[in-house]
Amino acid sequence: MHALTYHSPGRVVVADVPMPVIGAPTDAIVKVTLAGICGTDLHVVRGDFAGMVPGAVVGHEFVGEVITVGASVLHLRPGDRVMGSDFTACGHCRWCDGGNHWHCRERGFFGTGSAFGDRLSGAQAEYVRVPHADTTLALLPSSCPPEAAILIGDNLATGWAAVERAALEPGDCVAVIGGGAVGQLTALSAQIASAGIVVVIEPNARRRAFAQSHGSLAAHPDEAGALVSKLTDGAGADVVIEAVGGNGPIDLAMSLARPRGRIVSIGTHAAETYAFPVARAFRDEMTVSFAIGDPIRLRTRLLRLVAAGALDPTVVIDARGTLSDAPDLYRQLETQQRLKAIVIP
Amino acid sequence: MHALTYHSPGRVVVADVPMPVIGAPTDAIVKVTLAGICGTDLHVVRGDFAGMVPGAVVGHEFVGEVITVGASVLHLRPGDRVMGSDFTACGHCRWCDGGNHWHCRERGFFGTGSAFGDRLSGAQAEYVRVPHADTTLALLPSSCPPEAAILIGDNLATGWAAVERAALEPGDCVAVIGGGAVGQLTALSAQIASAGIVVVIEPNARRRAFAQSHGSLAAHPDEAGALVSKLTDGAGADVVIEAVGGNGPIDLAMSLARPRGRIVSIGTHAAETYAFPVARAFRDEMTVSFAIGDPIRLRTRLLRLVAAGALDPTVVIDARGTLSDAPDLYRQLETQQRLKAIVIP
Amino acid sequence: MHALTYHSPGRVVVADVPMPVIGAPTDAIVKVTLAGICGTDLHVVRGDFAGMVPGAVVGHEFVGEVITVGASVLHLRPGDRVMGSDFTACGHCRWCDGGNHWHCRERGFFGTGSAFGDRLSGAQAEYVRVPHADTTLALLPSSCPPEAAILIGDNLATGWAAVERAALEPGDCVAVIGGGAVGQLTALSAQIASAGIVVVIEPNARRRAFAQSHGSLAAHPDEAGALVSKLTDGAGADVVIEAVGGNGPIDLAMSLARPRGRIVSIGTHAAETYAFPVARAFRDEMTVSFAIGDPIRLRTRLLRLVAAGALDPTVVIDARGTLSDAPDLYRQLETQQRLKAIVIP
Amino acid sequence: MHALTYHSPGRVVVADVPMPVIGAPTDAIVKVTLAGICGTDLHVVRGDFAGMVPGAVVGHEFVGEVITVGASVLHLRPGDRVMGSDFTACGHCRWCDGGNHWHCRERGFFGTGSAFGDRLSGAQAEYVRVPHADTTLALLPSSCPPEAAILIGDNLATGWAAVERAALEPGDCVAVIGGGAVGQLTALSAQIASAGIVVVIEPNARRRAFAQSHGSLAAHPDEAGALVSKLTDGAGADVVIEAVGGNGPIDLAMSLARPRGRIVSIGTHAAETYAFPVARAFRDEMTVSFAIGDPIRLRTRLLRLVAAGALDPTVVIDARGTLSDAPDLYRQLETQQRLKAIVIP
């Protein structure tokens, strides 16, 4: 079958790879009808992730049709239209029972080498093998457009996880650092979840304009402090969500939050440590949380919001193509010409 | 001074009445610059309320300017622009400390006789005496239009109290029974507070159209069951807010709610008892709550929402006039030609 | 095999009945090593429940060992020591996903005829067939004594469900109406869940003494109002949990609760309607909820509490016997000589 | 009058100082009948705090009787028995309205120089001036022993603030780092607030023994990891409360917490920054909060718990004396021979 594969740092290529096969009785094979390209995939292309060998298939966002199921798959049948989660989980351990599938010991993350758990082949391909299919997959209801399901399976789940963690109170002033696809979906989620004002903080002018045309205010990072201060009578934001990753953005987040404010970081952190301003955090009774999107826990709620028309995540999609277009789409995303791209394998 | 007074069942008249004077050191006298007419006032006109003697001044929604303060008023000065609450509270008892001012033993309700506590003269007048002024009044910030403050001081506080009690989860399907000013503000509050779908249930076609043009769905009571069932795959509404009062509307609310659903009643209940379907409520693990608006507790949050532009309650105001217009405005409200009227004394 | 069966109103007998067999691929057959007799079983004996035909096996509380499993049971194997839930649920529908297994359409309740769902044979027997075994059963950890697991599977789950619904705040005054096994376990649960004072209201002096020797206060129903008033400076209880059933106990609960108080009813309600004091409930902003124990949702939490030594539900067990002792144990429970009886089949 | 005053690093002395006088209309003068010595006072003695000049009166924990009140004090009269808060707040700003008095701009902290706000003379004296008396003081109910009120006014409020911030779920495993008075009261608070297991981590063997005799487990810091791991099947503590201060204890707290665990720090942080393990915190979705005790917000709840007999904070008091004994009591606390000392001026 055809699939998008990692070639070498900076380069992905379409290649012919073997069809996946059932490897465990809880597996399913899914024919991918739609796949997303995520900011995380840009790291894969750069060669940042351990275990991502040349020829490995990329991608972790997908929607498709079940082709075959293992003997222990109870709730799915060939022909079912399904939406994926970017990672897998067993569905019946202590962590899964509590709704925290990310911490399941059997977690695997599609198409990212061994960076986040067991190595799994990616989903930017004609077919993908899905472990723990009863948990990892969900039936795609007719009320949810396939492109929305791509976002529920990863980027929107991440944005929503941040908002859930922040425990918004109605009218809260929420600053979101980063105006990529995840940041924009975080902003939309905060609006839905009763924020009073949402400010997207982003250096790219087009991304700021996107935020402004979708219900948020926007500011360049250099002007964020002044704007947030003005909006809050000098107190600071009630909640700051950091959706970029790295120590600089956390520092910015700390500086924007009010006393007793809540900071939630959903960006990836490569550095081992961060010089945390502990004296100020103590004096101001701050709370700092880290959150990772969990589509398995969150998809029921997100599907409801999409079905109700309360939230349309597909507004961030501004590029679509076939597998052979994918290398070019990666370049457009890398240079921030595009916000979010979808591939039809 | 001039004031709107109760004359006899069905009749209010503008009359000349004595200026109010400071009666306790915690009182303030406020020059009323704007007063609202509320559905509760229609009951006053009908003569439903004990202690509402001929000549008594009507009205409990007001915005104005402080003229004089008693010796123990600490936080207000003559000249301050203030917004009122429909009832008074002492501000430092067990109930007030917990934010539940309605249950304060020193509660008085303006312009409604002795129905809800100590008899207080009403606010549809040039001046009004305000007991416990430090608690009952709040400074009117420049970010809040006076007409919005009228609504925060009563109708919007009631709608918001319902939504607060209902403990909405994002995406909830919320049915609101009643499309008067309170019902419409409840629907807007639910939208802000993360409802997925809001359905206003109301026999009056113009009020249904209003709801539909302000972000909600609408249904005639006879069609409510079918619509809610369709919207929820047959399960029923997550939350039903009853904003009419009486046993019929509660029965309707019970019938519309899903298993483990939450019903909040904010309508006034004249009957002493209700034939509660207890066997069904047990089998379906229902929750039934009653809530009364508390502007003193809620105004900080509501002012934030108005300042942020997240909520504009003034959309329900469709009639304005002077004191001499007031008797006619009462008639228009009584016949449901108007949703909400404001008087400039 | 031997089992306790319904004979006629007022009479249960030990009888020889056919061994259960796997009927669906998600079934398991469990050898019962311990079974509980519940207050609900007393209704069965009286012949109150539809579908409870002569010869039907009684009982819904059990602990045992898996003997055989159907082809689709994934997480259990013969030889596993397991604890049961009093009812079954499919584990993957909308209701089960949300943790509300009681509302699953595939609910069956062991040994109670067709009163609460699909008819299932009871567990006061040597063996029992368990539908949806992966969901209905849980592995019995070594940290949980089998007798404690009997209680987690029904009575304690009911008491805990009430406390969970009541959303206790630390220091709350909680009145529990009814000092049977469920009422006593509710009182213990409330103590654990941060109640300040718990008052058990019960006419039987021995049951009041039991409550008093296990951390609660106790009062005869005739004296409950005076005691609660004294404990709360006249305000009323923050929370009242009704664990008897019927309209009289709900009336008592309403009378004991403070303004803005919360009433949770976990007793069974045979009457279709209750003359609810709606005017008072509105004036005092009351909340009335109904709750049913869900061992499937609650057992993880309850097992933790037992393992930590924070809660020992077995203190209510005061009678133990074999199957042949069971008819006599029923009589002792019926006459309130005993609080809770356990049978070893 | 006599008072305990700072003399020079390491030395406090009883001295004759001027009687305090009313300085603002919201002030009260309180005759101190009981004062506490706090761990923070040990820092004062060391000379660590800016603005703590020789001759300044020490102490911030007190109970007493109102002697005189300023003209704007509304709710207190001479002769009232009152309990203090360790810091003052205006009672009607944005922060006070929200229950977060620590962030009030008019905060002053008794007897600690200018370290935490406006300089206020201390309470280890015969009399003390109390700004914003209506807010800072509360009537001492007869249901609360004066020594308990001393603890509610500072140490217990700090412990409770940690538990409130941690949002305990029933059965949680809570590790408390530090077995001083605050740590022990944190442990007792966690027990009340539904913890399953509490582990106090403390190098001093006598303090570990105290914890063990008051319902908690205890471990030396070197053995804490092993014990917590064993208690939680290797997962880690649900909640870790750091009650010592400094970067080492936070590191220990991070190491003891499970994935998605919550760390609350209530110890004082002198260092400006902490090398926060950000990569691990992200991977494990941790939450880190800082909290400061707020007796003004918390005393209503804490008084209820004491009145109900649910919590007796006075168990930590193991030394009592007069003002002239105070220098010696400081030495005993400094050398950890005592846990908590009370002075009768």
Contact between chains at D279 and A271 (C-beta distance less than 8 A):
yes
C-chain residues within 8 Å CB-CB of D194?
A: 192-194
Contact between chains at D265 and A282 (C-beta distance less than 8 A):
yes
Among C84, C62, C87, C66, CA closest to C76 = C66
What percent of chain C has pLDDT above 70? 100
Query: Closest Cα of chain C to B8: distance in Å?
Result: 26
Residue type (1 letter), A154: D
Architecture field, domain B158-290:
3-Layer(aba) Sandwich (3.40)
B-chain residues within 8 Å CB-CB of C287?
A: 165, 287-290
Residues paired with D79 in a beta bridge: none
The pLDDT confidence band at residue D124, using thresholds 50, 70 and 90, is very high
Among A219, A164, A226, A222, CA closest to A195 = A164
Residue type (1 letter), B235: A
Nearest CA in chain C to D168: C193
Query: Where do we find the tokens 């005017």?
Result: C279
pLDDT at position B216 over 80: yes
Nearest CA in chain B to D26: B74
Between chain B and chain D, the number of residue pairs with CB atoms below 8 A apart is 18
pLDDT at position C146 over 90: yes
Among B266, B285, B264, CA closest to B166 = B264
Q: Which of D74, D97, D300 sits opposite B72 (nearest CB)?
A: D74
Burial B40-77 (b: 16+ CB within 10 A, else e): bbebbbebbbeebeeebbbbbbbbbebbbbbebbbebe
The pLDDT confidence band at residue C270, using thresholds 50, 70 and 90, is confident
List pLDDT tens digits, range D134-162. 999 999 999 999 999 999 999 999 999 99
Query: Closest Cα of chain B to A245: distance in Å?
Result: 27
CA distance D268 to B40: 54
Contact between chains at C92 and A300 (C-beta distance less than 8 A):
no
Contact between chains at D194 and C196 (C-beta distance less than 8 A):
no
**Secondary element (H or E) of residue C283:** helix C278-283
Contact C111, C56 (CB under 8 A): yes
Residues of chain A under the 70 pLDDT cut: none
Note the pLDDT of residue D260: 97
Note the pLDDT of residue A115: 81
Note the pLDDT of residue A125: 98
Question: What number is the average pLDDT over the span D233-238?
Answer: 96
What CATH number belongs to A2-154+294-344? 3.90.180.10
What subunits touch chain A, counting only 3 or more CB pairs under 8 A?
B, C, D
The pLDDT confidence band at residue D47, using thresholds 50, 70 and 90, is confident
Residues paired with A64 in a beta bridge: A32, A82
Contact between chains at A134 and C92 (C-beta distance less than 8 A):
yes
Question: What number is the average pLDDT over the span C58-84?
Answer: 97
Nearest CA in chain A to B300: A171
Contact between chains at A284 and D277 (C-beta distance less than 8 A):
no
Show Cβ contacts of residue A317 under 8 Å, excluding neighbours closer than 6 positions.
Answer: A147, A151, A339, A340, A341, A342
C-chain residues within 8 Å CB-CB of A94?
A: 300
Mutate to test the interface with A, among C26, C80, C92, C95 (most CBs of A within 10 A): C92
Sign of the alpha-carbon dihedral angle for C253, C257, C263, C266: negative
Show Cβ contacts of residue C5 under 8 Å, excluding neighbours closer than 6 positions.
Answer: C12, C13, C14, C15, C17, C54, C55, C56, C57, C58
Among D40, D69, D41, CA closest to D137 = D69
Contact between chains at A309 and B197 (C-beta distance less than 8 A):
yes
Contact C190, C165 (CB under 8 A): no
Contact between chains at A72 and C74 (C-beta distance less than 8 A):
yes
**Secondary element (H or E) of residue C95:** helix C94-97
Query: For chain C, first and last CA: distance in Å?
Result: 10
pLDDT at position D118 over 80: no
Residue type (1 letter), C338: R
Burial class (CB in 10 A: 0-12, 13-18, 19+), D268: middle
Measure the CA dihedral B289/B295/B301/B307, to 10°.
130
pLDDT at position B118 over 80: no
pLDDT at position C106 over 90: yes
Query: Closest Cα of chain C to B271: distance in Å?
Result: 6
The whole-chain average pLDDT of chain D stands at 96
Contact between chains at A288 and D287 (C-beta distance less than 8 A):
yes
Contact between chains at C103 and B281 (C-beta distance less than 8 A):
no
Between chain A and chain C, the number of residue pairs with CB atoms below 8 A apart is 18
Nearest CA in chain B to A160: B170
State both tokens at A287: 């709370």
Question: Beta C81-83 vs C108-110: how paired, if at all?
Answer: unpaired
pLDDT at position C251 over 90: yes
CA distance B159 to B293: 7
Query: Closest Cα of chain C to B270: distance in Å?
Result: 6
Mutate to test the interface with B, among C94, C104, C173, C278 (most CBs of B within 10 A): C278
List pLDDT tens digits, range C159-193. 999 999 999 999 999 999 999 999 999 999 999 99
List pLDDT tens digits, range D332-343. 999 999 999 999
B-chain residues within 8 Å CB-CB of A195?
A: 310
Mutate to test the interface with B, among C40, C242, C282, C286 (most CBs of B within 10 A): C282
Give span(s): CATH 3.40.50.720, chain B: 158-290
List pLDDT tens digits, range B46-75. 988 888 899 999 999 999 999 999 999 999
Contact between chains at B72 and D75 (C-beta distance less than 8 A):
no
CA distance A229 to C145: 58
Query: Where do we find the tokens 């709710």?
Result: D75
D-chain residues within 8 Å CB-CB of B74?
A: 26, 72, 74, 92
Contact B156, B189 (CB under 8 A): yes
Chain B contacts to A (CB-CB under 8 A): 169-171, 173, 192-197, 301, 304-305, 307-310
Q: Which of B169, B171, B193 sits opposite A170 (nearest CB)?
A: B193
CA distance A111 to A105: 18
Query: For chain B, first and last CA: distance in Å?
Result: 10
What angle separates helix B295-307 from helix B155-166, to the nearest 10 degrees?
A: 90
Rg (CA), chain D: 20
Nearest CA in chain A to C98: A300
The whole-chain average pLDDT of chain C stands at 96
C-chain residues within 8 Å CB-CB of D143?
A: none
CA distance D2 to B127: 55
List pLDDT tens digits, range B283-299. 999 999 999 999 999 99
Among A35, A70, A62, A26, CA closest to A295 = A62
Contact between chains at A287 and D287 (C-beta distance less than 8 A):
yes
The pLDDT confidence band at residue B170, using thresholds 50, 70 and 90, is very high
Contact between chains at A300 and C97 (C-beta distance less than 8 A):
yes
Contact between chains at B98 and D72 (C-beta distance less than 8 A):
no
What subunits touch chain D, counting only 3 or more CB pairs under 8 A?
A, B, C
Chain C contacts to A (CB-CB under 8 A): 26, 72, 74-75, 92, 94, 97-98, 134, 300
Sign of the alpha-carbon dihedral angle for C40, C46, C52, C57: positive
Contact D196, D169 (CB under 8 A): no
CA distance B295 to B313: 14
pLDDT at position B173 over 90: yes
Give span(s): CATH 3.90.180.10, chain C: 2-154+294-344
A-chain residues within 8 Å CB-CB of B169?
A: 301
Residue type (1 letter), A160: W
CATH class of A159-290: alpha beta
Query: Where do we find the tokens 């923050």?
Result: C238
pTM of the model: 0.96
Note the pLDDT of residue D256: 98
Number of neighbours of residue D78 by Cβ within 10 angstroms: 12
Give span(s): CATH 3.40.50.720, chain D: 159-290
Note the pLDDT of residue D253: 98
Q: Which of A171, A173, A305 sits opposite B171 (nearest CB)?
A: A305
Contact D106, D95 (CB under 8 A): no
Among C337, C274, C314, C271, CA closest to C42 = C337
**Secondary element (H or E) of residue B112:** none
List pLDDT tens digits, range D48-58. 888 889 999 99
Query: Where do we find the tokens 């975080």?
Result: A186
State both tokens at D53: 């000049």
Contact C293, C158 (CB under 8 A): yes
Query: For chain D, first and last CA: distance in Å?
Result: 10
CA distance B188 to B178: 13
Question: What number is the average pLDDT over the span D309-322?
Answer: 97
